[in-house]
Structure 1
Amino acid sequence: MAAQPNFSSVMTVLRERAEEILIDDAISVSADDAIGGGTRCSATACTQIAAKKLCVGHHDRWKSAGRPELDAWDPGPEPVGSKTLSLSGLPVPLKWELAYAIALTREDPDPPTMRLSSMQNFIRVLEASGITSLMGHPETAWPIMKAQRTAAGTMKLKPGLLTYAIDAVDQLHGRGGIDDEYHLDVWRVRRIRLHKRTNGTILRFTEIGRPWLRDAVKQFIKWRNETEYSITCMQRDVITLTRLSTALHLVAGPHATPSD
């Protein structure tokens, strides 16, 4: 097994990638960006984000020109300046981690998307959260994510930039593979069922108290996953086997063994 990158080398990569897109702690965004983008300005060849039909610069020119019909109006060159996402209020390494993830979305053919206004709100909540790193906070406890419990053993979390960033930084640390997930007692299905839309589903084994039974259930669900069993059916299996664990506790006591 390859050695995992050390903390110092990971921080170096994060800082260097962040510095590629951060200027004075802000990231310039255009309409076509997956993160921070929006509706493109209607002016010919302009890549900036429209407030309504036009970007702010072209809107001011259009007003100064007497509000002509857009089809007959020469908008001139693209205005200087663009919208930015300020990360100045975020601590390091969270600032670098988020910038790193945004940089990756610009290379990804199928990235998560978030409009500029939503992204600005997202950053404000991060600033107020007191969280300093994606790696230092349990994913299921993020204050900016609404969790919808569906049944015992499962939870749905809204996927998007946050989960994308967590996965990217985990991979940078040498973690986040399928085998890494199998060793945990809470599985993020997006990490074990690759290339499938999972709606943020989580399989939770923590309610199965006996380690020997929990390990057996995890092995069974792992086999289900590897044989392309449906996610819904795996959820049902976890629920059923968790109930079996509870029944075993009631009948045989907390120290029951397979021989019981």
Structure 2
Amino acid sequence: MPYKTQEMVVVTGTSSGIGRATAVQLAAEGFYVLAGVRRQEDAEEIKQKNIEPVILDITAIDTLRALAERVEQDPLGRPLRAVVNNAGIAVNAPLEMVPLDEFRRQIEVSVIGQVAVIQALTPALLKSGGRVVNIGSVGGKISMPGFGIYSAAKYAMEAINDSLRREMSSFGLKVIMITPGGVSTSLSEKGVSTADRLSKLMTPDQHRRHDRLFDAVKAQAESWATSGIPPKKVAEVVSRAIHASNPRTRYTAGRDSALLTRLVRILPDKLLDRMLRSQMKLQ
């Protein structure tokens, strides 16, 4: 549904998956989308009506400043309706052996980078009465074996999301968390590739302890890549959160997310442990 006065939306991580689907969805609805990508070839690929690619590395302050200036100095004076914080990575490995530099990289991209985007665009969002839409994960509600590093980042974003919402509510800034379950995206495939690379760093003792877990992590990621919901389903939920005059604080996307976010609140830890280990065939 196009708006009489076109509004802008910033979406990060639009090279593929949820970010790409969200940019396309919102552009089709009449928003002018600034689509963050890291590479020029991705910029050329996503450029179309109502989508303007922006070279953006959310860990690089100069690209964030450039994005904020682009929003503030928009030649048509379009207000910023929302920022969709989607960019992220997945580092999946047993906690015992994951290199600390990999842990730092996960947090740098998937937590600090998200906060940096919010900080850069808060002035424009406050001016327009806009909203922050953070793309979380069921991994921010429940931490599966082998996914602790990824979940640490997603749990952190849950805390940041809640704190920001409570800090800014009196200033008109709405803050929303979208919690997808398994989604068929290249992030799952990249997670498998990362797991393969990290598995080569293990000692013989660690191999004996964790080879089975690595196989389970890769099988789980491959399952999401092939049988997860399509990214468009998440994009539709994002669209609802942006269009709603009084949005909910949280939305789930996918049946597994709706189920697991409820189970984690009612099941005892030890029962949940057994269920997750059984699901990943670690029993």
Larger helix fraction of residues: 2
**Considering the TM-score relative to the shorter chain, is it more than 0.5?**
no
TM-score when normalising by structure 2: 0.23
- Radius of gyration: which is bigger? 1
